[in-house]
């Protein structure tokens, strides 16, 4: 033990003697080969002048500190980070628009709006050297291709691609880094990703920007404000590096599932591009072009003559999946491929025989492989029913029809609404009842029509939460039908929020709602007049076979929902004028 201690002390004394001699001779850190390497790395990094000065200052401190000191490790790590982060290295952009368009179409079917926006961005880059404010935010349901679209953009323009997942991040230091005073401190995710990319102009994807939360450790979404502001991010200051770093050359792309979960100041800094859920015919094309070839290759079925019929794919889409994206569709197709592979091997025997196999996957095969269908298609009522009206709802898995049932009972004057309803829908029901009461005379209702009557509205499938401002018109029609005891037409669906004055105001998710109406066999759809402009952007395949009627006020909806409403109201008005 004494020998070990003596050896260590002797080594320390010699190192100190060398250091003192170096100081006396006026020689710098270049004498030590290790310090010489660091010095060369600093010079090669091509840092801005002020950053380089700071790096050399830190190097001077490192030379004077004994290697056994903990401070020595801290400075050493800091200098490693300063020299490893890219300061000048840049990749050359491939700005050929046709090439960009080709790659985007190769990787994704549909998504015209985001693709067009990316092509516009590349076109502008062709005309100017740099473009500021290039922060795009893709908002859409899970599985529609937001993350993979970011990868495609990087591949199309020839840039490095880095992805940061922000789901569940609740510490501000994850974005901005820790100060060097803490043990185990390191830079934040932004600087780490820049080091990983190795260039100053990568495509950086900030995934799930709506899933960040906050606690006592700070608010990471506020720390992102500086990163995503084109006016500020050229001087981004990470707590660990403690020098200004230029992020203005980075192309930021963010993704989110729900727009209203993104903090408003962040939304203000980004250009939001909505990615709607895929329609059935689009899912069919995606399955044929991308999913099935990929799964055949993955399961070793590409060597055989296997045909996947369109009817079989449609059966999987409609009866085994219910989603806006295509993740579950891929999972179910993979399950079919596994079972097909097992059947082929059991029947074929050896590999030589297998090559001659001809195999067809039909709807019957799909049911045999995947079992009983999990979902049934919702159809509208078969015959007109009193108090039952068809509405249209938007859900995270696409559009759905919403059957609203109303019934009137003798009892206390109150309104009950059931079926796991949110506050917004409860308020819509109150507004609908108030509208009927205030316009009772015009609508042919007796003045005290609700006296001693209890109204119960139920939205079936009680386990599914329902909320949102688009059911006002449906609730009004259901109550009117129940009070008047006249049946509502079963081939008419509607969507729209109402005011107390009876105005029908705009709604969202029109594309998905119209598709749900088509699936359910609806012939006519009532939509708010304000949404008429949105019809231009909806594909003709969705509108086919639907009569879409834009309405401004709720009074215009009654003749469409109730067969003889027009005649009755006109007769009444003639009587009224004669009496006057």
Which of 308, 337, 370 is at the close of a domain?
370
Work out the pLDDT band at 163, boundaries 50, 70, 90: very high
Highest mean pLDDT among 177-186, 189-198, 206-215: 189-198
Tens digit of each residue's pLDDT (9 = 90 or more) over 440-487: 888 888 888 878 888 898 887 644 555 566 788 888 999 988 888 888
Give yes or no: residues 463 and 489 share one domain.
yes
Q: Which one of 470, 484, 540, 569 is the catalytic residue?
A: 470
Distance CA 433, CA 54 (A): 71
Mean pLDDT (whole number) for 305-333: 86
Residue 573 has pLDDT above 50, yes or no: no
Residue 103 inside a domain? The answer is yes
Q: What one-character-per-residue DSSP string does 226-241 give?
A: HHT-TTTGGGEE-TTT
pLDDT for res 550:
92
Residue 17 inside a domain? The answer is no
Give yes or no: residues 285 and 269 share one domain.
no
Tens digit of each residue's pLDDT (9 = 90 or more) over 345-379: 777 655 555 555 677 888 888 888 888 888 776 65
For strand 453-458 and strand 398-410, is the pairing parallel, antiparallel, or unpaired? antiparallel
Provide the b/e sequence for 488-511 (b: ≥16 CB within 10 Å). Answer: bbbebbbbbbbeeebbbbbbbbbb
Q: Which residue did the predictor score with more confidence, 134 or 406?
A: 406
Residue 575 has pLDDT above 70, yes or no: no
Q: Which of 379, 275, 374, 364 is nearest to 326 (CA)?
A: 275
Provide the b/e sequence for 219-230 (b: ≥16 CB within 10 Å). Answer: bbbebbbbbbbe
Give yes or no: residues 408 and 289 share one domain.
no
Give yes or no: residues 539 and 440 share one domain.
yes
Structure tokens at 174: 């994850």
- Domain of 356, CATH number, reads 1.10.8.60
Structure tokens at 99: 């090439």
For strand 161-165 and strand 203-207, is the pairing parallel, antiparallel, or unpaired? parallel
Q: Which one of 513, 524, 567, 580 is the catalytic residue?
A: 513
Distance CA 406, CA 423 (A): 18
Residue 579 inside a domain? The answer is no
Residue 548 inside a domain? The answer is yes
Give yes or no: residues 197 and 112 share one domain.
yes
Give yes or no: residues 103 and 183 share one domain.
yes
Tens digit of each residue's pLDDT (9 = 90 or more) over 42-66: 888 888 888 888 888 888 888 877 7
Give yes or no: residues 261 and 328 share one domain.
no
Residue 377 inside a domain? The answer is no
Average pLDDT along the chain: 82
Tens digit of each residue's pLDDT (9 = 90 or more) over 322-350: 777 888 899 999 999 888 888 877 776 55
Residue 4 inside a domain? The answer is no
Distances (CA, A) of 408 to 112, 387, 411, 431, 453: 48, 9, 9, 17, 6
Give yes or no: residues 60 and 122 share one domain.
no
pLDDT for res 348:
64
Distance CA 212, CA 263 (A): 10
Residue 160 has pLDDT above 80, yes or no: yes
Give yes or no: residues 239 and 195 share one domain.
yes
Which of 256, 274, 292 is at the close of a domain?
274
Which of 274, 305, 323 is at the close of a domain?
274
Give yes or no: residues 127 and 242 share one domain.
yes
For strand 415-418 and strand 453-458, is the pairing parallel, antiparallel, or unpaired? parallel
- Say whether 513 is catalytic: yes
Cα 444 → chain centroid: 47
Distance CA 459, CA 58 (A): 68
Work out the pLDDT band at 429, boundaries 50, 70, 90: confident
Residue 12 inside a domain? The answer is no
Residue 219 phi, psi dihedral angles, 5° rounding: -115, 105
Work out the pLDDT band at 196, boundaries 50, 70, 90: very high
> Which residue intervals of 68-111 are DSSP H helices?
70-84, 97-107
Structure tokens at 288: 């044929």
Tens digit of each residue's pLDDT (9 = 90 or more) over 198-214: 998 899 999 888 888 77
Give yes or no: residues 349 and 392 share one domain.
no
* DSSP bridge partners of 504: 498
Distance CA 307, CA 74 (A): 62
Distance CA 36, CA 84 (A): 16
Work out the pLDDT band at 167, boundaries 50, 70, 90: confident
Provide the b/e sequence for 527-561 (b: ≥16 CB within 10 Å). Answer: bbbebbebeeebeeebbeebebbbbeebeebbebb
Asked if 221 contacts 214 with a C-beta cutoff of 8 angstroms, the reply is yes
Q: Which of 95, 189, 204 is nearest to 150 (CA)?
A: 204
Boundaries of domain holding 39: 23-84
Residue 2 inside a domain? The answer is no
Tell me how many domains the chain contains. 4
Q: Which of 255, 244, 328 is nearest to 286 (CA)?
A: 328
- Domain of 118, CATH number, reads 3.40.50.300
Tens digit of each residue's pLDDT (9 = 90 or more) over 243-267: 888 888 888 899 988 787 888 888 8
Work out the pLDDT band at 162, boundaries 50, 70, 90: very high
Distances (CA, A) of 262 to 108, 130, 164, 205, 224: 26, 28, 16, 16, 12
- Say whether 69 is catalytic: no
Give yes or no: residues 516 and 552 share one domain.
yes
- Domain of 505, CATH number, reads 3.30.230.10
Half-sphere exposure of 196 (CA within 13 A, CB side): 13
Distance CA 201, CA 91 (A): 7
Question: CA quadruple 47, 49, 50, 54: dihedral positive or negative?
Answer: positive
pLDDT for res 568:
43
Half-sphere exposure of 347 (CA within 13 A, CB side): 12
């Amino acid at each position: 033990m004494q020998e070990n201690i003596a050896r260590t002390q002797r080594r320390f004394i010699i190192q100190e003697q060398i250091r003192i001699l170096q100081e006396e001779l006026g020689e710098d850190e270049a004498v030590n080969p290790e310090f010489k390497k660091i010095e060369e790395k600093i010079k090669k990094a091509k840092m801005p002048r002020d950053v380089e000065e700071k790096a050399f200052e830190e190097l001077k401190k490192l030379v004077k500190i004994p290697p056994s000191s903990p401070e020595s490790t801290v400075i050493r790590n800091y200098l490693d980070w300063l020299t490893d982060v890219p300061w000048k290295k840049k990749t050359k952009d491939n700005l050929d628009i046709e090439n960009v368009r080709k790659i985007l179409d190769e990787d994704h079917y549909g998504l015209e709006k985001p693709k067009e926006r990316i092509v516009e961005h590349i076109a502008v880059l062709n005309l100017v050297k740099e473009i500021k404010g290039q922060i795009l935010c893709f908002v859409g349901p899970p599985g529609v291709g937001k993350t993979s679209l970011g990868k495609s953009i990087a591949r199309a323009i020839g840039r490095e691609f880095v992805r940061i997942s922000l789901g569940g991040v609740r510490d501000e230091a994850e974005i901005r880094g820790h100060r060097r005073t803490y043990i185990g401190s390191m830079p934040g995710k932004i600087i780490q990703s820049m080091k990983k990319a190795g260039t100053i102009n990568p495509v950086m994807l900030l995934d799930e920007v709506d899933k960040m939360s906050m606690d006592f450790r700070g608010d990471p979404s506020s720390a992102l404000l500086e990163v995503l502001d084109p006016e500020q991010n050229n001087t981004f200051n990470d707590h660990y590096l403690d020098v200004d770093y230029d992020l203005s050359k980075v192309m930021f792309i963010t993704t989110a599932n729900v727009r209203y979960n993104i903090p408003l100041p962040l939304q203000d800094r980004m250009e939001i591009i909505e990615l709607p859920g895929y329609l059935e015919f689009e899912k069919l094309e995606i399955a044929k072009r991308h999913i099935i070839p990929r799964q055949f290759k993955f399961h070793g079925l590409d060597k055989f003559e296997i045909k996947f019929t369109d009817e079989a794919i449609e059966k999987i889409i409609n009866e085994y999946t219910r989603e806006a994206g295509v993740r579950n569709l891929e999972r179910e197709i993979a399950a079919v491929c596994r079972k097909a592979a097992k059947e082929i091997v059991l029947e074929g025997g050896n590999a030589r025989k297998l090559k001659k196999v001809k195999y067809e996957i039909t709807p019957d095969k799909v049911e045999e492989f995947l079992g009983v269908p999990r979902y049934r298609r919702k159809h509208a009522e078969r015959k007109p029913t009193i108090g039952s009206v068809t509405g249209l709802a938007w859900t995270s898995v696409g559009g759905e029809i919403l059957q609203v049932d109303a019934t009137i009972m003798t009892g206390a004057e109150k309104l009950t609404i059931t079926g796991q309803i949110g506050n917004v829908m409860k308020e819509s029901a109150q507004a609908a009842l108030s509208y009927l009461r205030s316009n009772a005379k015009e609508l042919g209702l007796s003045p005290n029509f609700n006296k001693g009557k209890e109204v119960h509205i139920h939205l079936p499938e009680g386990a599914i939460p329902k909320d949102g401002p688009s059911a006002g018109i449906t609730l009004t029609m259901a109550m009117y039908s129940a009070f008047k005891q006249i049946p509502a037409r079963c081939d008419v669906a509607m969507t729209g929020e109402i005011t107390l004055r009876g105005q029908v105001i705009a709604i969202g998710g029109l594309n998905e709602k119209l598709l749900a109406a088509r699936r359910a066999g609806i012939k006519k759809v009532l939509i708010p007049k304000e949404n008429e402009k949105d019809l231009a952007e909806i594909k003709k395949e969705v509108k086919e076979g639907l009569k879409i009627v834009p309405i401004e006020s709720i009074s215009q909806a009654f003749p469409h929902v109730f067969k003889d409403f027009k005649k009755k109201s006109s007769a009444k008005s003639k009587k009224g004028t004669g009496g006057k």
